[in-house]
Structure 1
């Protein structure tokens, strides 16, 4: 064992000890809070405090364990941050994979000089996109209590506090836990879209800006510590680029509540929040601009601008008060006038015409203060604000608009019918050649089918009115706040060209000398395995189209769906289909002289594309990452990754630095064949066969609906969006969204979508050709793709639990059905676990101690919660079957709390 690996092992052990010690302290505080609240009956059941009684636990145990898991999650995050700090002290900053010091070191090792690294960073453009999928099970009030408790946890780490000060911190922790216990934890009413949007705005306006300050500092320090010239970095300005997007208020796919008016109000709320962010930052900046005119020469340009803003402010009392207060501090005076102008703008009064005008005033502040010799003020306070303006603008985050291709077909059919086009009502069933012929003909004409006040039908009106909202936004505020028009379930070229027809009808077009163009990018979303296979041909035809080439864009965005592809064909086949599609799509784009910007629709679980960000990037096909990278941040993963400042900074740095080093590698290194690739097609085919054979077996849907809490999830109030695309409850897996599909298997501890079929594929290879299996084993450590995929499968297997699976399966009324499917599932589980241990040359528990620790510490309290949930499901279903609706509704909050508690313990939903 090397010295560095020995140190890492020691730090890991110290981390485990810190988790146990800190968790014990918090659980002790929780016990004290329960005593003060008179909840003495729960004290023997405190998790991690000794042997829990085996009798039926009292009312409140679910809430107790849910809070216990929330504390554990908090402790693990905090300890991880502390261990990273210790590792940096002992092994150096570049020992931490995925962060800037390591990324810059690796780029230097590739032979890149500082200026060449800058050229890579110029192309790095990363955008996390916050979505509101129904996987965030905690209310915002609960997250507020978490933040208060986390702050006290951070304070408690300060080693120089006296005993009295430590007692005060502990008392505040107890108080925070008292409040948390009495704060309603679950959504008894389904949250509306604007509550989801307000939650997202909290991260965008109130947390990310502070994280960006640290992120910029980390990058600057890493650049300087690498020995690179600071003037080279500053001359490049804001590199690499980070911005944010959102789907909340724009994602219409199967979400009938996202109306055009909702999108209009969403854009307004985002604009207002952006102005509030800049106003707050300006007030903070002003406290640093206390330079006196008596000690510094004041540039004429600064004096002139102060006079201009004073004159145009339009409020004499405010401008007089600012003059009287700050006249002797002219730089602060200008900042105060800028803030006053923003404040009026927030209230709906005239203000800055746009972010460019505001940026000019910031430029004047920075340049004029630098003439006094105070360059550090510009570097440390004004430059970061210019960077935030570049990132957030006056829009905070770009809003994508997504709709399903089938919905567009319905809208077009209604337009054609209203316009009297023969057989227009059957447009969705037309052959592709006939659809394309119509679209080609119509797109040559600026003439709409109908007058803009005419109605063609519900679907047409919804699409056109949504596009008119976007047109109004462009006319009034520009395009900065708008993202793309995303077409989910893109199946053929006409699905994309149809969007242009709808945009023309709504007046969402711009005229050019060569003809009309759509001002917003139209983006295909390829989700199912069949669509992924067709994707390169669709993209080739799309990029060849005159209407698309007319835009003259150098990049084209393509979105990949990780959820439906997995639900469609299983985890290994989905991963392989996505991998091959990216390779083929990249090649297609290269042939057109276009750079692709992949938008990865990753969910919060491995079954829906999740996994460590830097490992995910390392496993991308060579050449597929050109610097521009978008990724969804869904549901509970937003809180897990960004709820506190240290964690938010760390995860954003992983995202940015990971994109940078992967982009550099894809450009600089010659593509090397993956030694495992020859084995994957056969493994994928066999895995898919086993997975689909299970799903299509007679009776499987009945087994699934009884052995998992899918019916409870369909009735839950976790998110604003329906569980099914059509909003109907029934026996169709195809209609069921991937989120509740994964969520239900996770709650029942099957984790089935994350591993089923892999064992059959590996067994088939080993049985038919042991030599090939041995060759696969030898190739695996050198295969980024297969190592990443199978490691994720192994994680799902480790999270599953056979005993608990059987407990949930006991809910299946038909014994023959239960035994038949459990025999299949258990056999595949054991098969997969055995063969993965063979491939990886050892059981996961020995190879991955950190994962083992986090699973083991959760298992005992989780077992209690699962047993309770099984009982609750049985009781609730009996009431529903007997049509005792009021009694079923009365007990449903207990079932929701059970779902929430288990989600906290597993750190995942769907």
Structure 2
């Protein structure tokens, strides 16, 4: 059958359907005033025309009210704008649901990057044995985080799911009812979610999506690649941060961690219980019917138990299922054995923990905690640290921390954070007792820059009555400076006798985390990515020298500026100089719902990640190792862009511009995440306190997307000015790594829209700064088109570009309203204040921010 081009399939199955269902949606009355749906298209048209005529948002809004109203008062104007925001939020949900429903039509589920395609390529090249050997050791580990980049209330998530199914079935009557329900269901959260609320929201995806998709993939590998041979590796693991991520989140405590671990366990038991019930309807034969009935009852009895009271283990369940399987094979002609196999696979994959809960804390917190532990242990008369510990040099302190062990009771510590930090370690031990070791066995140290940072955490773990801890200590290197010394830090640790003994007990495996988000914020787009690439090479080299199997865990966000974008292409491009035993990455916010929100998209994107690792690992792809000329060009591009970004970051207007001209300070008011929007308690905005998400997100709301391109054009133009642009073209042609970086940067540029904020060019305080950003945008766009040979941005990704364009069109009026409100607030700041009006305008900014965050599924 002839298959239409992907972009045509998108236009037919997504765009056309959206236009039809949106026209229905716009006619539905959601409140007493029924003309909102009629007026919104007119307002959208006014916005498009206004920006084409280079009008500012205030002039556009005024023109709309002049044309369609007779002298409306301020209250009427504000009321209509809030209703527009409500409509647009729901248009985004409608588009999400239509895109989800069409996923299998738009994407080729057996095409490039799928497991079927990998198998066919391996067969064609005669490397099936190599493929099987590789999969015995290779893993992909998506780690779900609650980083606040999207959070629909549970009720809205349910409507999206139902809409998806109704759209697939073309059930127009039910679609209309769901659209009406959507119109009346509140989106905005009046209160911040707790860390536990965040965990429950994400466990929904584990229960309804990952549970099924991962077992389907594992079943395919066993049946189609291994056949009768055993597969002794899960291949896919799940990680989980909500409830364990303490970094900058004062609301996460040990009780929350234990509660989340209990919820994870009870949810996976609930899924097993449902599967056993389905199995019982089929295996109605003597002996096995009783065995399955007993297992069902035991699972039910354990679903809702508190921590510490569970009386069935994953091993017991597996033994029972294995016995049932043997009886079915030997006595019942293997009837329904495939259903038993599926459940056995699931218990192997998810155990009684579902997803491994990671604990994370900042090294600066650890350092402060350790100083209090030293002081208080001395006051208790415990002989743990020498009296002069705090006067010693770093290497001497490391030596002492290496030897430290004992049993400190958190309840005996007066310092609150010290007590909480040790409490979190005791929580790990409790979870391991109840859910199994894999339930919680990783402790991540963010902002890690030294050996001391690692050893302080290691010592604290051993001070919790845990001389030989069954937990991995994972340093997270984030800034450019920390990445430069990462391999030296690890080499020192590999040479430390106590730490080396710990690694030996852990199978000589070391996981190292690298943070794209803060790396980009610190060093700019090219330097952050190149620094991580080089750090991975150096860490691979030093780990191989010491016989340590290193696994890299990438802290990635959704947008390219935080390490997102075309993730599978990035992993397929790394080459043999970087260790490739596992792909571990954080999946955040809207990336969870957009890439893993449905069974089809979850399976497809997990397969893409798996195939990226396989192609890199057994050389099915055409990636090339960077030669010396390419390395030299990449190094200079990164250095030049870093200089440009550093000068930009040090500009006296940089922080004030974000503070006064962007939505940065409104992020804290959106109530989409439990974490504070910045580190530190200072009222003054300090760059180092800024979290990467509000930082990148604020540029996104301005439609300027600075972190995804700034310095790229400057660096390439320097090569052009000296007649050496061919070197950059060669790098683009020959390096899949660089090509992926540039293609992701194209996405950031595509989502930029400078006409929205062009009025700032005339601002007496920030006009010059705005022009500086706009000039670099123009330069980057021109230079990227020149080296790629493209006539337009994202020329190779027209379907994704089409999706972006629809979303940008939907949210244009939302962004216009946001900028209008910001302009009105600036007027209030300069003139006479009106507290009541200020409150309304600030709410308008926050609401439009919230809607735009949710719209930015593949946010830049």
**CA separation of 1:674/1:37 partners in 2, compared to 1, >3 Å: closer, same or farther?**
farther
Corresponding residue SS for 2:463: helix
For structure 1, which segment, 882-891 or 646-655, has the greater mean C-alpha deviation from structure 2 after superposition?
882-891
Shift of residue 795, structure 1, vs aligned partner: 1.3
Q: Partner residue of 2:413?
A: 455
Alignment of 1:508-587 (within 5 A): 509=466, 516-551=467-502, 552=504, 553-587=507-541
Q: Partner residue of 1:862?
A: 811
**CA separation of 1:788/1:285 partners in 2, compared to 1, >3 Å: closer, same or farther?**
same
Q: Partner residue of 2:59?
A: none
Alignment of 1:120-159 (within 5 A): 120-156=134-170
| Aligned counterparts of 2:672 and 2:835: Cα–Cα separation in 1 | 20
- Do structure 1's residue 764 and structure 2's residue 778 form an aligned pair? no
Q: Partner residue of 1:721?
A: 675
For structure 1, which segment, 476-485 or 36-45, has the greater mean C-alpha deviation from structure 2 after superposition?
36-45
Q: Partner residue of 1:703?
A: 657
Q: Is the 8 A contact 1:414 1:425 kept in 2?
A: no
Corresponding residue SS for 1:130: strand
Corresponding residue SS for 1:844: coil
Matching residue within 35, 60, 64 for 1:55: 64
Shift of residue 817, structure 1, vs aligned partner: 2.6
| Aligned counterparts of 2:394 and 2:606: Cα–Cα separation in 1 | 44
**CA separation of 1:337/1:199 partners in 2, compared to 1, >3 Å: closer, same or farther?**
same
| Aligned counterparts of 1:116 and 1:373: Cα–Cα separation in 2 | 36
Shift of residue 614, structure 1, vs aligned partner: 1.9
Shift of residue 835, structure 1, vs aligned partner: 0.9
- Do structure 1's residue 469 and structure 2's residue 427 form an aligned pair? yes
Q: Is the 8 A contact 1:253 1:725 kept in 2?
A: no
| Aligned counterparts of 2:792 and 2:107: Cα–Cα separation in 1 | 23
Shift of residue 744, structure 1, vs aligned partner: 0.4
Shift of residue 691, structure 1, vs aligned partner: 0.8
Q: How many residues align?
A: 822
For structure 1, which segment, 561-570 or 721-730, has the greater mean C-alpha deviation from structure 2 after superposition?
721-730
Corresponding residue SS for 1:676: helix
Shift of residue 203, structure 1, vs aligned partner: 1.2
**CA separation of 1:608/1:363 partners in 2, compared to 1, >3 Å: closer, same or farther?**
same
| Aligned counterparts of 1:414 and 1:189: Cα–Cα separation in 2 | 34
| Aligned counterparts of 1:195 and 1:452: Cα–Cα separation in 2 | 26
Corresponding residue SS for 2:614: helix
Matching residue within 873, 897, 902 for 2:822: 873
Any gaps of 5 or more consecutive residues in structure 1?
157-168, 294-329, 510-515
**CA separation of 1:475/1:71 partners in 2, compared to 1, >3 Å: closer, same or farther?**
closer
Shift of residue 368, structure 1, vs aligned partner: 0.9
Q: Partner residue of 2:99?
A: 76
**CA separation of 1:854/1:484 partners in 2, compared to 1, >3 Å: closer, same or farther?**
same
| Aligned counterparts of 2:387 and 2:243: Cα–Cα separation in 1 | 28
Matching residue within 64, 79, 100 for 2:87: 64
Q: Is the 8 A contact 2:401 2:456 kept in 1?
A: no
Aligned-pair Cα RMSD in Å? 3.0
| Aligned counterparts of 2:827 and 2:710: Cα–Cα separation in 1 | 31
Any gaps of 5 or more consecutive residues in structure 2?
50-62, 66-76
Write the deviation string for residues 8-50 of structure 1: whole angstroms up to 9, x where unpaired.
7644324323323211221133134238975234224249998
Matching residue within 283, 293, 301 for 1:344: 301
**CA separation of 1:428/1:668 partners in 2, compared to 1, >3 Å: closer, same or farther?**
farther
Q: Partner residue of 1:280?
A: 274
- Do structure 1's residue 773 and structure 2's residue 768 form an aligned pair? no
Q: Is the 8 A contact 2:97 2:164 kept in 1?
A: yes
| Aligned counterparts of 1:680 and 1:445: Cα–Cα separation in 2 | 44
| Aligned counterparts of 1:621 and 1:674: Cα–Cα separation in 2 | 15
| Aligned counterparts of 1:353 and 1:77: Cα–Cα separation in 2 | 38
| Aligned counterparts of 2:612 and 2:480: Cα–Cα separation in 1 | 27
Q: Partner residue of 2:8?
A: 13
Matching residue within 735, 750, 755 for 1:783: 735
**CA separation of 1:62/1:670 partners in 2, compared to 1, >3 Å: closer, same or farther?**
closer
| Aligned counterparts of 2:559 and 2:131: Cα–Cα separation in 1 | 34
Corresponding residue SS for 1:524: strand
Q: Is the 8 A contact 1:11 1:83 kept in 2?
A: yes
Shift of residue 706, structure 1, vs aligned partner: 2.1
- Do structure 1's residue 797 and structure 2's residue 749 form an aligned pair? yes
| Aligned counterparts of 1:854 and 1:285: Cα–Cα separation in 2 | 41
TM-score by length of 1: 0.85
| Aligned counterparts of 1:862 and 1:347: Cα–Cα separation in 2 | 43
Alignment of 1:398-437 (within 5 A): 398-420=356-378, 434-437=393-396
Q: Is the 8 A contact 1:100 1:653 kept in 2?
A: yes
Shift of residue 687, structure 1, vs aligned partner: 0.4
| Aligned counterparts of 2:796 and 2:438: Cα–Cα separation in 1 | 48
Q: Is the 8 A contact 2:444 2:476 kept in 1?
A: yes
For structure 1, which segment, 571-580 or 186-195, has the greater mean C-alpha deviation from structure 2 after superposition?
186-195
Corresponding residue SS for 1:241: coil
Corresponding residue SS for 2:846: helix
**CA separation of 1:140/1:877 partners in 2, compared to 1, >3 Å: closer, same or farther?**
farther
TM-score by length of 2: 0.89
| Aligned counterparts of 1:802 and 1:717: Cα–Cα separation in 2 | 28
Q: Is the 8 A contact 1:517 1:550 kept in 2?
A: no
Write the deviation string for residues 67-124 of structure 1: whole angstroms up to 9, x where unpaired.
2222223323433421335xx7xxxx3xx22111222233345542x33321111112
